[in-house]
A = this chain, B = another copy of it.
Amino acid sequence: MLSHFTVDCVIYTFHEAQLKILLTERNEYPYKGWWALPGFYVEKDEEMEDAVKRISYENTGLKDIYLEQLAAFAGVKRHPEGRILTVAYVALVRYDNVKNKVKPVTSYMKQAKWYPINHLPDLAFDHREIIQLSVEKLKKRLSYSLAPFELLPEKFTLTQFQQVYEALLGETLDKRNFRKKINNLGYLKELDEFQTGVSYRAARLYKLDRRKFQKLFE
C-alpha cells in the first residue's frame, strides 16, 4: 500500500509594503466556501516537488519559482474524512510577475486572492498553523538566503528592501543603519536608474549581485 498525500503551498509576495499570501476559496467539500492554501493530492508517480510546481503554476501562472519544503502535517483529525498527510511548501514570487495572472484555475476553487499576513481570514484545515510556522521560518532565513530578492522586483529601491525586512520582523528599522549594513554585505549592485511615476524625489534602483552573494556563502 503506497502513500497517498497532499501538498499545500504557502505562496508569498510583497506588495504595497506588505507581505501577502495567496489563498483560494474552496468550492468543494470539505470546507466549501472557506479560504485555504492552494494544495492538492500528489499523483501516484509524481515527485512531490513537481506537484508543488504544478499547483503553484496553476495558481500564479509562474514556473521556476523559489520553493522550499516547510514540514509535514499529519494530525489524525486535520481532515474530516480521516488522516490525510500534507507536506507544506513555501514559495516566493514577485508581485509584478503575477499580478494579473492569479485566478481560479479549476472548479475546485471559486477565486484566489492575496491576503496580508497580518489580516488573514478564517482558514480551512490546519492551514493557520502551517502559515504560522512558515512565517517563523522565513524570518530566520531572511538574512542568509535569497528570500528577499525572490519577493522584490528585479530592480528595487533600498526602501522596498527595508520594507521586506520590516514586514517579516514585525518592527521598524533605522534607515541609516540598515543602509550601512547592506552596504557592508556588498551584494547589492547600485544602478544608474531611478524610480518613475512618483510625486517625490525618485529613489535609486538596486539589484542583487549574484556573484558576490554566492561568494559570501561559498
Contacts and interface: CB of A to CB of B under 8 A. Distances in A.
Interface in A72-110: 72, 74-76, 81-85, 87
Chain A contact residues: helix, strand, loop or mixed: loop
A87 B69 contact: no
Given A3-B74, A71-B72, 10 more contacts: A2-B81, A3-B4, A3-B84, A4-B4, A5-B5, A5-B74, A44-B83, A45-B76, A47-B75, A72-B72
B71 A48 contact: no
A42 interface: yes
Interface of A: 1-5, 42, 44-48, 69, 71-72, 74-76, 81-85, 87
A5 B75 contact: no
16 contacts: A2-B81, A2-B82, A3-B4, A3-B5, A3-B83, A4-B4, A5-B5, A44-B83, A45-B76, A46-B76, A47-B76, A48-B74, A69-B71, A71-B71, A72-B87, A74-B87
A45 B83 CA distance: 8
A28 to B, nearest CB: 16
Contacts of A5: 3, 5, 74, 85
Nearest to A41: B1
B3 A1 contact: no
Contacts of A76: 45-47
Contact of A85 (B3, B44, B69): B3
A201 to B, nearest CB: 39
Contacts of A81: 2
Nearest to A70: B71
A47 B85 CA distance: 11
Contact of A74 (B1, B42, B84): B42
Interface centre among A44, A47, A75, A83 (most CB of B within 10 A): A83
A2 B45 contact: no
